């Protein structure tokens, strides 16, 4: 009696300690054993079917009878269902906690619309623009309002020079199917390789259709050298308030035209006749312009800019008839000035003290004028001198200069460069007048030398300059001559200057190469990626 009572107490304590999960597993095992016995599972047991409580319907002789009543079965199934619900509930609570900790952020949809337009403008294929609509709903709506139209006559096979019907039909059909359902477009570019009378009226219709759709970037390209055959630009173009970029090549303008481009930021005119009055009209009619480019233009005469307070870049490339240039803008950061040898022009940049990039191609540039010019720009970061054949000596003292290029200045004999922050240097010429330059801060140096008449002298100057790089083991040296490219680790490459034309490049950036045994010299050949296995 005492033993049985003690067993009951121990069993009750054990049951209280067993967790709900263990009890559930025990009940599952009991249910499985009972079910297997009913279905005739293990060790010769006969089946029995429970009809009512206490009554069984035998299906054969039974060695070990098992009876399960309906009430216990219902209790067991309810316990199982509760256990399954509990597990599901705990899983959902864990998922909710993870969602609270890591919330997904849709950064693609958060991009501003101008940035999305810029990304879409870099896609050349219209199908790629359409594929971006699957990224988010915002991209779908932005793509619906964005499209770039680019029509090039060279890519369309025309039936003849005087009858370009195929090109006209192609552009008309494209605009009829794509342009009409759109509210506005981002960019419209048309390029013509043949000047034809039949193209004038369709061109006017195409450009006016783009203007009516509030186009932001317009590019008209007419490849014609004769001024008499230039395309006369419609007046509606120069009065559009939605244009932000206007690029004109081979176009002419009405003498009495009114210019009102209040939102224009980029203006590029190439291969056109532009007189002083027309330039002044552009300056007055484009108050927000930031980038001005005049390339191969004729008839400019005097150029004076002082009212465009947001202008930060000016490019004047080989403009015939340019007499004087005077720019008084503190906002100007980039100035490119290229002229030919027979032209004379007075250059005055006295009011541009914040200039950071200066590029000059002027064969008549003297030493004194160059020295007086760069003294006015204390914040210069990049200087490019190209074909300045009158220059014999240059002196540059700057703490902000990081990039220097001297290309084809054939009479340059001496130089004094004191720029502690200089990181990139490029030189092309017949001599090597930079052997006194400090190269400790450089990250890249490119040298191109022509070794013909001054071979021995150039070899000595080049050797003195290259010795500056020997002590620093971080440099990679690339030597190319006569369509051969070598990468030398021992840097003793002045033995290779026997060639007529030599290219030398020092770089701290890793260069791809394959090792090849060449005897005593430690030389490696560069191999393009397409030839590697």
**pLDDT, position 27:** 65
SS (H, E, C) 98-138: HHHHCCCCCCCCCCCHHHHHHHHHCCCCHHHHHHHHHCCHH
Instruction: With both helix axes pointing from N to C terminus, report the angle between 137-144 and 113-121 in degrees, rounded to the nearest 10.
Output: 70
Question: Using an 8 Å Cβ cutoff, are 107 and 88 in contact?
Answer: no
Dist. CA 169–CA 244, nearest whole Å: 29
Supply the DSSP symbol for 45. P
pLDDT at 422 over 80: yes
- Sort strands 320-327 and 251-252 into parallel, antiparallel or unpaired: unpaired
Q: Give the pLDDT confidence score for residue 96 in this predicted structure.
A: 61
Q: Cα–Cα distance between 323 and 8 in angstroms, integer?
A: 117
**Which whole number is the average pLDDT over 359-379?**
92
Cβ proximity of 147 and 182 under 8 Å? yes
Supply the pLDDT for residue 331.
Answer: 94
Range from 32-41, 311-320, 347-356 carrying the lowest mean pLDDT: 32-41
Give 6 or 232, the one with higher predicted confidence: 232
Axis crossing angle, helix 70-101 with helix 20-38, rounded to the nearest 10: 140
Q: Is the pLDDT of residue 480 over 90?
A: no
| Percentage of residues of the chain with pLDDT beyond 90 | 31
| 402 band by pLDDT with thresholds 50, 70 and 90 | very high
What pLDDT does 23 receive?
63
Compute the residue count for the chain: 533
Q: How confident is the model at residue 6 (pLDDT cuts 50, 70, 90)?
A: low
Residue 495: pLDDT band with limits 50, 70, 90: very low
Q: Place 183 in a pLDDT band, splitting at 50, 70 and 90.
A: confident
CB 210 within 8 A of CB 184: no
Give the mean model confidence (pLDDT) for residues 429-439.
81
Q: Distance between CA atoms of 298 and 158, rounded to whole angstroms?
A: 32
**Residue that the structure tokens 């480019």 belong to:** 293
Euclidean distance between CA atoms 127 and 177, whole angstroms: 15
- The reported pLDDT for the residue numbered 18 is 54
Q: How far is CA 251 from CA 21, 195, 274, 315, in A?
A: 86, 11, 10, 19
Q: Name 55's Cβ contacts closer than 8 Å, sequence gap at least 6.
A: none
Tell the residue number behind the tokens 């008499």, with chain if given.
Answer: 228
pLDDT digits (tens, 9 = 90+) for 27-75: 666 665 655 555 444 444 444 444 444 444 444 444 444 444 667 767 7
Span 69-93, average pLDDT = 75
Q: Rounded CA gap, 40 and 526, in Å?
A: 80
Say whether pLDDT at 355 is over 90: yes
Residue 20 has pLDDT above 80, yes or no: no
The overall longest dimension of the chain from CA atoms, in Å, is: 130
Residues 6+ apart with CB under 8 A from 298: 227, 272, 273, 274, 319, 320, 321
In the prediction, which pLDDT does 285 show? 93
Residue 204 CB: number of other CB atoms within 10 A? Answer: 15
Most confident of 79-93, 101-115, 335-349: 335-349
Amino acid 488: pLDDT: 59
What gap in Å lies between CA 495 and CA 502, rounded to an integer?
A: 12
Q: What is the reported pLDDT for 35?
A: 53
Average of per-residue pLDDT across 2-13: 58
Q: Which residue has the higher pLDDT, 100 or 254?
A: 254
pLDDT of residue 493: 47
Confidence of residue 461 (pLDDT cuts 50, 70, 90): confident
If you average pLDDT over residues 12-35, what whole number do you get? 61
How does pLDDT run across 217-262, given as a tens digit for each residue? 999 998 876 666 788 899 899 999 999 999 999 998 887 888 999 9
Residue 367 tokens read as: 């030493």
- The answer on pLDDT for 198 being more than 50 is yes
Average pLDDT over residues 358-364: 93
* 130-161 pLDDT per residue, tens: 777 777 777 777 766 567 788 888 877 554 45
Mean pLDDT of 380-397: 93
Residue in the block written with tokens 């693609």: 108
The pLDDT of residue 515 is: 33
Q: Extract the tokens encoding 434.
A: 């930079």
At 406 the pLDDT is 94
């Amino acid at each position: 009696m005492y033993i049985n009572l003690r067993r009951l107490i121990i069993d009750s304590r054990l049951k209280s300690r067993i967790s709900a999960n263990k009890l559930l597993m025990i009940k599952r095992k009991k249910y499985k054993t009972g079910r297997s016995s009913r279905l005739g599972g293990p060790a010769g047991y006969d089946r029995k079917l429970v009809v009512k409580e206490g009554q069984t319907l035998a299906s054969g002789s039974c060695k070990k009878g098992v009876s399960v009543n309906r009430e216990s079965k219902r209790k067991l199934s309810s316990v199982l269902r509760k256990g399954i619900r509990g597990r599901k509930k705990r899983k959902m609570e864990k998922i909710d906690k993870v969602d609270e900790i890591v919330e997904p952020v849709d950064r693609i949809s958060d991009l501003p619309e101008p940035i999305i337009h810029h990304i879409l403008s870099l896609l050349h294929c219209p199908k790629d623009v359409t594929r971006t609509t699957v990224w988010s709903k915002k991209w779908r709506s932005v793509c619906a309002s964005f499209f770039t139209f680019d029509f090039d006559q060279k890519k369309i096979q025309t039936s003849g020079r005087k009858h370009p019907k195929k090109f006209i039909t192609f552009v008309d059909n494209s605009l009829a199917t794509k342009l009409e359902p759109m509210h506005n477009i981002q960019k419209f570019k048309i390029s013509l390789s043949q000047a034809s009378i039949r193209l004038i009226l369709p061109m006017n219709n195409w450009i006016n259709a783009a203007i009516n759709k509030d186009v932001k970037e317009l590019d008209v390209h007419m490849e014609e050298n004769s001024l008499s055959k230039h395309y006369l630009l419609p007046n509606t173009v120069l009065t559009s308030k939605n244009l932000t970029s206007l690029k004109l090549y081979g176009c002419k303008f009405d003498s009495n035209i009114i210019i009102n481009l209040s939102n224009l930021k980029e203006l590029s005119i190439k291969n056109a006749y532009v007189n002083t009055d027309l330039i002044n009209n552009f300056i007055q009619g484009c108050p927000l312009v930031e980038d001005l480019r005049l390339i191969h233009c004729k008839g400019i005469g005097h150029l004076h800019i002082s009212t465009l307070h947001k202008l930060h870049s000016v490019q004047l490339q080989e403009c015939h008839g340019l007499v004087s240039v005077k720019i008084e803008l503190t906002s100007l950061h980039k100035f490119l000035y290229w002229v030919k040898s027979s032209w004379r022009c007075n250059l005055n940049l006295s009011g541009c003290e914040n200039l950071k990039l200066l590029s000059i191609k002027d064969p008549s540039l003297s030493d004194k004028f160059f020295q007086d010019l760069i003294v006015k720009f204390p914040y210069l970061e990049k200087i490019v001198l190209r074909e300045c054949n009158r220059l014999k000596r240059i002196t540059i003292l700057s703490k902000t200069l990081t990039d220097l290029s001297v290309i084809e200045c054939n009479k340059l004999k001496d130089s004094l460069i004191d720029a502690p922050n200089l990181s990139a240097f490029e030189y092309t010429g017949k001599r090597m007048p930079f052997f006194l330059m400090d190269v400790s801060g450089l990250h890249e140096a490119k040298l191109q030398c022509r070794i013909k008449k001054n071979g021995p002298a150039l070899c000595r100057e080049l050797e003195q300059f290259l010795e500056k790089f020997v002590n620093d083991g971080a440099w990679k040296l690339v030597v190319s001559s006569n369509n051969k490219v070598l990468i030398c680790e021992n840097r003793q490459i002045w033995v290779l200057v026997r060639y007529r034309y030599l290219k030398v490049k020092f770089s701290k950036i890793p260069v791809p190469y394959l090792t090849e045994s060449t005897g005593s010299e430690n030389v490696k050949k560069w191999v393009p990626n397409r030839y590697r296995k």
